[in-house]
Amino acid sequence: MSQTHKHAIPANIADRCLINPEQYETKYKQSINDPDTFWGEQGKILDWITPYQKVKNTSFAPGNVSIKWYEDGTLNLAANCLDRHLQENGDRTAIIWEGDDASQSKHISYRELHRDVCRFANTLLDLGIKKGDVVAIYMPMVPEAAVAMLACARIGAVHSVIFGGFSPEAVAGRIIDSSSRLVITADEGVRAGRSIPLKKNVDDALKNPNVTSVEHVIVLKRTGSDIDWQEDRDLWWRDLIEKASPEHQPEAMNAEDPLFILYTSGSTGKPKGVLHTTGGYLVYAATTFKYVFDYHPGDIYWCTADVGWVTGHSYLLYGPLACGATTLMFEGVPNWPTPARMCQVVDKHQVNILYTAPTAIRALIYQQ
């Protein structure tokens, strides 16, 4: 038995919507009947180094499945998420970070994020990381995770983000499969008041005899806990970034160049690495963020997903930043130390767009 619930949209919200129901229906029909025109128009949401002439090139023939978007265009994801906002909105908050401990929070402007990303991009280059190399990122929900991802995109390295709750065995498997040259991690993560031994997990993962590609491990000091250290391999994040130049020109990437690998959960077998390319992915992430969440300048947006999942990639980080939005990154969990924590975060930072999962809401209901 199904039920339909209709909720009237308040006039003050309906009046400011970027798209009304009639416009949506028109665009939807165009996307089905004339996808080249529709997606050709949506592609203009980004800045292109070389503008595309061909929107899509697809084949679904047996034995010849090929899907390409904007294949003759070039762009850079980090430039679209950062550089193009600096002139008019450099001082706008890009990321609000709320720590697991409610006393820890900070605002990071687009200008500050751009500076840190450029420094870390130069750090990667100094370590010999180049376009096409794979970088594994196994970090807590801290702004430096976003910096690492954007820096990879800036130089054309392919990032492989590994959820911070995964075991050393899972970390090793993803490093082996992707042939990662570099691992970026932290001494520990913090979640629901508990420490997560990220560096120890990486150390254990790298003991796997099949891990042969990793040359360095960059470690962010999150808690200051004692950790094992391997000279020449292990490097402190702060030591590297403090001596790096804040100036960096983004790499021109073909729209079909690889952007990131993200592994399936493995619930139906061995986890499979899904490769996402640059242009089509970012057009989709930016377009859907803009219209689904109806984002306007001044809104405070919070996606509760972990950056280790594709929702975190697309709707915590890349979609919002491509649109010049203010996005909130939360290190903790919504029901710790009390079920009121999510509401407290909303009130504290004046969040007016919340994107979360039904499981999170159900968990809160059960604890009432």
Residue 341 lies in a domain: yes
pLDDT tens string 108-159: 999 999 999 999 999 999 999 999 999 999 999 999 999 999 999 999 999 9
- Number of domains within the chain: 1
Range of the domain at 273: 81-367
pLDDT range class, residue 1, cuts 50, 70, 90: low
Position 119 in a domain: yes
Write down the pLDDT at residue 368: 64
Rg (CA), the chain: 21
Beta carbons within 10 angstroms of residue 316's beta carbon: 27
Mean pLDDT score across all residues of the chain: 97
322 is a domain residue = yes
Average pLDDT over residues 58-87: 98
Q: Is the pTM of this model over 0.75?
A: yes
In a domain, 165, yes or no: yes
With pLDDT > 90 as the criterion, what percentage of the chain qualifies?
Answer: 92
Give the mean model confidence (pLDDT) for residues 3-24. 90
Amino acid symbol at 264:
T
End-to-end Cα separation, the chain, in angstroms: 27
Q: Is residue 66 part of a domain?
A: no
pLDDT for residue 200 is more than 80: yes
Asked if residue 7 belongs to a domain, the reply is no
Q: Which two tokens stand for residue 43?
A: 């592609």
Quick check: 96 and 345 in contact, CB under 8 A? no
Among all chains, which residue has been given the structure tokens 């800045």?
A: 47
Q: CATH number of the domain that 248 lies in?
A: 3.40.50.12780
* Residue 18 resides in a domain: no
Section 65-80 average pLDDT = 98
Alpha carbons 161 and 237: distance in angstroms, whole number: 17
Of 241, 240, 275, the C-alpha closest to 259 is 275
Of 95, 16, 82, 10, the closest CA to residue 349 belongs to 95
In a domain, 96, yes or no: yes
CA distance 352 to 270: 39
